[in-house]
Structure 1
Amino acid sequence: MNNLMRKKPFRVYTVLCLCYCILFFTCSNKENYINVVTLSDTPQVSFALKDVESALGSLYRRIDAKQSDRADIVLSIKDIDTLKPEGFKIDIANNRIEVIGHDKAGLMYGALELAEQIKLYGIDDVKPMVRNPYLEIRGPKFNIPLDVRTPSYTDVSDAAQYNIPHMWDFTFWKDYIDTMARYRYNYISLWNLHPFPSLVKVPGYEDVALNDVQRSTVKWKENYSLMAIGFDAPEIINNVEVLKAMTIEEKIEFWKKVMAYGKSRNIDFHFITWNIFDYGTKGKYGITDDRDNPITTDYFRKSIKQMFVTYPDLAGIGLTTGENMKGANHKEREEWAYDTYAMGILDAAKEMPNRQFKFIHRQHQSGAREIAEKFKAVVEADNIEFLFCFKYAKAHVYSATKQPFHENANYVEQIKGMKTLWGLRNDDTFYFRWGAPDFTREFISNLPYDDVAKGIYFGSDQWIWGRDFLTKNPETPNQIEVSKHWYQWLLWGRLSYDPTISNKRFKAILTDRFSGIDAEKLFSAWQNASMVYPITTGFHWGKLDFQWYIEGCKSRPSQAGNETGFHDVNRFISLGVHPKSGNQSIPDYVKMVSEAKTTTLKTPFDVVKKLHDVSDKALLGIKEMKAGDDKELQFTLNDIATLSFLGKYYAYKIEGATYLALYRATNSKENQKLAVEALEKALVFWKKYTEKAMAQNLNPLWTNRVGIVDWKQITRWVEQDIAIVKNESKTKI
């Protein structure tokens, strides 16, 4: 399209572009339209075509396939050597744009790409390209709170309690699925401790199936078992409200509709469980959580099969062994898992030989080699794809772009060339909008890939990515979380599909989303503020979710070494660094100084400098930005400033902890004085952080892993850090 080469963005110069396009197409087609033809009229393609229509506006005209010779844009599916499943090609020749998909999913992604290019740059600046998915499977980890009687790990929290009713609202799933499809995710994994009573009517165990959707009205305790035991305590189960009256048959129809809708957007559904839990059964038929109970074994086996019998669009099922298996060894765990989950899916596969199934077995609390040997029949089944799953970054994907845990476990060697899903746990960003493309791209590029990577799941155990309930005076009440945190979810989805996407594209997306801003400055400020998470957690490393939550500076009390769970200045000295962060711990730094040695690692003071650097650059970048009437931009700028103040807090806290450790080693009053000064500055920025945070968000927040996060209460603990240092000596400072 040589005579369509315009460099001005379509959105900014709408009138000029529209006039130009009208003139061009009047000359070439004697029409004032851009004619669009699709040779594949599937739901996936129809969905993407709506975005093309939106991008073209009044110029869009859909014409019949018989008139394809008059088309300006053609969408088709073709068998081309360069394309793989879900791949697409955009060709431009003879004043025509052709989008070619390997399959309906590829054509959907190609049409979405075309729509975005038109929207960002104008139709005259659409670029030809060939794209194939980098990671084959890309999806969220979604802990789903179905009902008080069938809880997820996350249910004992505000996020879950608020979201139970939304899990039974089709509007939520429609918005969620459409958004995830645009971000290039192609499956949703729903995690629950024992979902079957809320989902299926199992032959021989029909009375286990649950009617209605219930939520407990109990006055919740702050902390419950980290192993998800006791969520059916009498005071919880006996004090309930009915949120929605539904029969089990109506529930089944609901989930059939949700899964079918997902299929229409190239999104599969998987259910993944922890074991052995019997929530919701109430001991009916003699079912217990006893591994040696033959009734329990039979019930689980039939439940697995019935899930596939009931839901024709259910793609797969997965399991975790060891969570509630009461002292069983690896062999005993896997024997139970085989007799239940494996036999259940083998039963389904035998009954439905023309259907494809996925079976996901987490390596968590078990051995990969033992699993592969035990599940050989599943691995070798013609219509079952066996996948491993490994918690790649433990609980904190925002810690370092390289992770050591698969290396420590010799995991890649253990699975002997079999495929795996890398689990990317984000138990860090719940309140604030995150967006660091460079970190995301580097992280994805560092994943073990060749002959092993099937894909990723990205999500949390401490959060439900349902609907927002924290924002004060939201522009869109009950906004879905993946829209509120749109940039974060877009980055992980789009870069997992195509890690070559440049920052230039992301800046163009920001320009389009926020009218009138300097996208270069916003992009840099947002990325710098977001790096507060990995810089801090890479230095102050609690690898599991209950060991560290950065937005509250908290863990469970046992992990903090005190009664509150607050990570005080002492804990900042004692807790180690992430093994791949390149950081030096405070004790190692003090030892190095005392021995007059040097290091190639980043010292605590280097980390301090880096935190100040990213925080100051972020604050400077947004200094002159005005949100005007754009409420989302207002929220975004507030989050960037909030994270910058948090970064300054942690910088001064690490500085104060380092000087305190030096004081203890040297008895130098100067180091004690410097520690107090740093921690006094830390308090100033903690107050700035919480003031900004609470201006926009509700406080406190009850979480399932670190308890109540109350910024006002935590402020008093931050103040005590100063007293800790001063009380090191009776000498007045």
Structure 2
Amino acid sequence: MKSHPPNRLVYLFLLLLTIVSCSHKTTEVSIFAPITNPEIEFAVDELDQALASRGVTLKKSDDPGATIALSIIESDTIRHEGFEIASSQEQIQVSGIDLEGLMYGGLELAEQIRLYGIKNVKPTLQNPYMEMRGPKFNIPLDVRTPSYSDASDAGQNNIPIMWDIDFWKEYIDTMARYRYNYISLWSLHPFPSLVKVPGYEDIALDDIKRSTGEWKELYNLNGIGMGDAHILDSTETVKKITIDEKIDFWKSVMAYGKQRNIDFHLITWNIFDYGTEGKYGITDEMDNEVTKDYYRKSIKQLFVTYPDLVGIGLTTGENMKIDGKRTSAAERENWAYDTYAQGILDAAKEMPDRQFTFIHRQHQTGAKEIAEKFKPVIDTKNVEFLYCFKYAKAHIYSATEQPYHEQDNFIEDIQGMKTIWGLRNDDTYYFRWGAPDFVREFIGNMPHEVAKGIYFGSDQWIWGRDFLTKDSELSGELEIKKHWYQWLLWGRLSYNPEINNERFKALLADRFPNTDAEKLQSAWQQASMVYPVTTGFHWGRLDFQWYIEGCLSHPKPAENETGFNDVNRFISLGIHPKSGNQTIPDYVQMMISDSTTTLTTPLQVSLKLHELSDGALKELETLTEGTSKELAHTLNDIKTVSYLGKYYAHKIAGSTYLALYRETKDTAEQKKAVDELTTAFDFWKEYTAQALQRNTNPLWTNRVGHVDWKQITEWVAEDIEIANEKLH
């Protein structure tokens, strides 16, 4: 018998092992999921898709020893909505103490399989960090029952979308994947579009209408005037539907949400009578007893009509008056108690086995006064009373620490009660944002001991369907899918702030497999930080005081007729209190007095913006879009925002030098100012040109009006003229 050299034998043995292992490659995986429930079925479907992406078929089994087993258990370590994944050679076990946690465990396992493969599943125990995690959704139900955001392109484009069940199913599924567990719908006066109120049946509205009138650019900032004749006298019916069909529609939406562990809450501003048309003598006056009765019965009827509606919330202070005059906080709280509180108490008494949530925003009223007035609600066993506080005013993208709860003594005043922290994003409407380090630090800095949870959303934007993208294949997709990374970050890190950047990098690699995920993550992180670095320095805390993508505010805070924040406004406007920045006037005085500071100077802020923008642009040099249209738009957004960062870097430096010139009369400082502002003008043109490759403009917004990049370009050029002016 002929012998073979040892290395030849080893080669043949390894070849045989390879053939055997290939012939036994796993192509089918069994799953034991004995619970028949929509939440679990959703998780199993996600597992099926994840395995299919790996070429593996998922087969349901009655054997508890199946490859994957989902089960409800008793546990001292798993909390509500939490889960544990345990992995051995024989089985992957997903455990929860409730259906909600088991669903999230299934989603986590599906994600791991998709990212790493079934052989590389990592054991994990996760419990929710924030109990409530949801979007703030200003909802444009109908021109007759508007939200705050209706006087805008976002509002008018999305009215028909709000009555599309396919939109809501996709929206709810996506929210569940991102770990959000409630949706708050915000409206000035939603009742005529949602319920038939006993004794006020004639108010209920059939059909969905939108205005075709000639809108004004800007409206009252408190939501007043949305029912003016020029709006309501010219309307079109976008959908024929009866009030009974509307009720059936929203019942189905809320029921579908329940199947994904997503509750619905309805939150209002007050007092508005939109949609009532003066019927039954209803007005928006606080001392109108008919209005009080109508509101009280409307609150109760919401819960009677919608068995899956979990909560109601209110704001006191938007339009609460008597004979056109401003009222006191006590008067406003008395009205709110007589209407909202009594309404929910009526519902709670009639439905004692049902749990209700009552949310009172701490807005133009003190927390102690609220607690005293609403004590009967707080003491009702089947009503959970929660505060809501606008944690970062209108701009979460400003600083990772916020001072406003401290300034209002809010935590001390609520005396151990719980709040929902309102996280307002009135910054990123056009461009995709993604900075996990910022989100993780921001969430970590929020006072957790009093936190019931968060809501994340906007007043100047409606997160419905995209209408800005030029590409017909992408236009019309859900905003939360276009801006998927941003929404995923806030949802997932609110559930588990310990998720590291390696997981997010893996998600990027999975979504964009033909690019360098590490460079993409780095570029996206750096470009996204342009928002907080700029806004932390140029701090207009409310939505009408600053919109970064247009360098705009309402004309009044801009201190000019256009609303453009020119070089003079960049000198005069202050900084975010927790940003660690120094104002331009303080910097000028420091230079004159030859002193120093531990704060970040304006020129250092400028340098930081250069570093971020240049860093992102450097990473983009080797990234290609390939055939992915989404990646092409993402890279375009990153480049666009990087140019915006360069614009603000030069503008801040130019504003600083101009302020120095005005104080010292040194023409060398003026020349530096002109040079910086000239370069800023060049980058503004780069910014808008890059943006317009993929996006439409102008854009009409409800808080700062028309965002017309072509017009704004002329105003940007005027900064150079301002800097060139000689001192008298």
> TM-score, normalised on structure 1?
0.95
In structure 1, the partner of 2:576 is 578
Where does residue 547 of structure 1 map in the other structure? Answer: 545
Q: CA deviation at 1:17?
A: 13
Residue in structure 2 matching 1:280, options 253, 275, 278: 275
Give the corresponding residue for 1:664. Answer: 662
1:68 is paired with a residue whose SS is: coil
Distance 1:134 1:18, change over 3 A: farther
Counterparts of 2:123 and 2:18 in 1: how far apart (Å)? 20
Alignment-derived partner of residue 169 in structure 1: 164
* CA distance in structure 1 between the aligned counterparts of 2:342 and 2:50, rounded to whole angstroms: 50
Corresponding residue number in structure 1 for 2:7: none
Does residue 60 (structure 1) correspond to residue 57 (structure 2)? The answer is yes
Aligned partner of 1:251 among 246, 251, 258: 246
Note closer, same or farther for the CA distance 1:279–1:21 as it changes in structure 2 (3 Å cut): farther
C-alpha separation in 2, matches of 1:160 and 1:227: 16
Match of 1:569 among 537, 553, 567: 567
User: How do 1:254-265 residues align onto structure 2 when only pairs under 5 Å count?
Assistant: 254-265=249-260
- Displacement of 1:729 in angstroms is 4.4
Matched AA of 1:453: A
1:29-84 alpha-carbon deviations (Å, 9 max, x no partner): xxx5211110322101101111100111152333333x223x00000111211011
Aligned to 1:292: 287
User: For 1:341 and 1:714, how far apart are their aligned partners in 2?
Assistant: 44
Q: Give the distance between the partners of 2:456 and 2:667, measured in 1 at CA.
A: 47
- The residue number in structure 2 matching 1:3 is none
1:263-301 deviation per Cα after TM superposition (whole angstroms, max 9, x unaligned) = 000000000000000100011011111111111000000
Identify which of 172, 193, 196 aligns with 1:201: 196
**1:520 aligned residue:** 518
Shift of 1:22: 6.8
SS in 2 for 1:636: helix
The amino acid of 2:57's aligned partner reads Y
Q: Give the corresponding residue for 1:389.
A: 388
State the match for 2:24 in structure 1. Answer: 23
- For the residues of structure 2 that align with 1:368 and 1:19, how far apart are their CA atoms? 70
Q: 1:698 aligns with which of 696, 699, 705?
A: 696
Task: Output the CA distance in 1 between the equivalents of 2:428 and 2:103.
Answer: 30
Alignment partner, residue 438 of structure 1:
437
Residues 472-495 of structure 1 deviation map (CA, whole Å, 9 limit, x = unaligned): 014333100000000000000000
- Check whether the contact 2:30–2:61 (CA below 8 A) recurs between aligned residues: no
Q: How far apart are the structure 2 equivalents of 1:174 and 1:18? A: 46
Number of matched residues?
A: 706
Tell me if the contact between 2:662 and 2:727 (Cα under 8 Å) persists in the aligned partners.
no
Name the counterpart of 2:355: 356
Cross-structure match for 1:638? 636
The answer on whether the counterparts of 1:53 and 1:60 sit within 8 Å (CA) in structure 2 is yes
Q: Could you tell me how far 1:93 is from its partner in structure 2?
A: 2.9
Please say if 1:401 is aligned against 2:396.
no
**C-alpha RMSD of matched pairs (Å):** 1.4
Aligned partner of 2:351: which letter? Answer: M
CA distance in 1, matches of 2:237, 2:283: 26
1:406–1:56 distance in 2 versus 1, CA, 3 Å: same
Deviations 1:420-468 (A, max 9, x none): 0000000000000000000000000000011x00000000000000000
Deviates more, 1:46-55 or 1:460-469: 46-55
Q: 1:589 aligns with which of 572, 579, 587?
A: 587
| Aligned pair partner of 1:148 in 139, 143, 149 | 143
* Corresponding residue of 1:29: none
Q: 2:78 matched to 1:83?
A: yes
Partner of 2:378: 379
Q: Match for residue 271 of structure 1?
A: 266
Give the aligned residue type for 2:199.
G
Determine the C-alpha separation between the residues in 2 that align with 1:364 and 1:474.
42
Q: Deviations over 1:612-664 (max 9, x none)?
A: 00000000001111112110000000000000000000000000000000001
Residues 39, 77 of structure 1: 8 Å contact kept: no
Q: What is the rounded CA distance, in whole Å, between the counterparts of 1:20 and 1:84 in structure 2?
A: 41
Match of 1:34 in 2: 29
Q: Which residue does the alignment assign to 1:11?
A: none
- 1:620 lines up with 2:618 in the alignment: yes
Structure 1, residues 146-167: CA drift from partner, whole Å, max 9, x if none?
0000000000000000000000
Task: State the partner residue of 2:153.
Answer: 158
Query: Match of 1:112?
Result: 107
Specify every segment of 5 or more residues in structure 1 that has no aligned partner in the other structure, as ranges.
Answer: 1-15, 26-31
**Structure 1 position 19, deviation (Å):** 9.7
Task: Note if contact 1:475-1:632 (Cα within 8 Å) is conserved in structure 2.
Answer: no
Give the match for residue 426 of structure 1: 425
Q: Deviations over 1:66-117 (max 9, x none)?
A: x223x00000111211011000000113510000012111011000000000
Q: Does the aligned pair in 1 maintain the 2:391–2:423 contact within 8 Å? A: yes
Aligned partners of 2:468 and 2:475 also within 8 Å: no
**Correspondence for 1:49:** 44
Q: Distance in 2 between matches of 1:412 and 1:37?
A: 46
**1:297-342 C-alpha deviation (Å, 9 max, x unpaired):** 0000000000000000001000000100121111101000000000
Give the Cα separation in 2 of the matches to 1:98 and 1:42. 18
Residues 1:216 and 2:214 are matched in the alignment: no
CA distance in 1, matches of 2:149, 2:51: 43
SS, match of residue 64 in structure 2: helix
- For the Cα contact (< 8 Å) 2:28–2:59, is it kept in 1? no
Question: 1:20 and 1:222, CA in 2 relative to 1: closer, same or farther beyond 3 A?
Answer: farther
Q: Distance in 2 between matches of 1:399 and 1:649?
A: 18
**Equivalent pair of 1:560/1:567 in contact (CA under 8 Å):** yes
**CA offset at residue 20 of structure 1?**
5.9
C-alpha change, 1:172 and 1:621, in structure 2 (3 Å) is same
Instruction: For 2:523 and 2:473, locate their aligned partners in 1 and report how far apart those are by CA, in whole Å.
Output: 23
Per the alignment, in what secondary structure is the counterpart of residue 428 of structure 2?
coil
CA distance in 1, matches of 2:649, 2:293: 56
Provide the C-alpha distance between the structure 2 equivalents of 1:512 and 1:229, rounded to a whole number of angstroms: 47
Kindly provide the amino acid, as one letter, of the partner of residue 487 in structure 2: W
Q: Is the 8 A contact 2:153 2:699 kept in 1?
A: yes
Partner in structure 1 of residue 718 of structure 2: 720
Q: Deviation at 1:24?
A: 5.9
SS of the residue aligned with 1:271? strand
Matched letter for residue 691 of structure 2: A
Deviation at 1:18, TM superposition (A): 14
* Aligned counterparts of 2:594 and 2:235: Cα–Cα separation in 1: 64
Q: C-alpha distance in 2, partners of 1:191/1:447? A: 23
* Cα contact 1:22–1:33 (8 A) shared by 2: no
1:223-280 deviation line (CA, Å, top 9, x unaligned):
1110110100012111100000010000000000000000000000000000000100
Q: What SS does the aligned partner of 1:139 have? A: strand
Matches within 5 A, 1:231-246: 231-246=226-241
Conservation of the 8 A alpha-carbon contact between 1:521 and 1:621: yes
Return the alpha-carbon distance in structure 1 between the equivalents of residues 89 and 98 of structure 2. Answer: 24
Is residue 203–residue 302 contact of structure 1 (8 Å, CA) maintained in 2?
Answer: yes
Check whether the contact 2:215–2:230 (CA below 8 A) recurs between aligned residues: no
The alignment's TM-score, normalised by the length of structure 2, stands at 0.96
Aligned counterpart, 2:483: 485
Residues 160 and 196 of structure 1: CA distance in aligned 2, closer, same or farther (over 3 Å): same
Counterpart amino acid of residue 423 in structure 2: L
Q: Gaps spanning 5+ residues in structure 2: where?
A: 1-16
Residue identity matched to 1:153: Y
State the Cα deviation string for residues 339-391 of structure 1 (Å, max 9, x = none). 00000000000000000000000001111000001000110111000000000
* SS across alignment from 1:145: coil
- 8 Å CA contact 2:575–2:581 kept in 1: the answer is yes
Aligned position for 2:316: 321
Write out the 4+ residue segments of structure 1 that deviate beyond 3 Å after TM superposition. 16-22
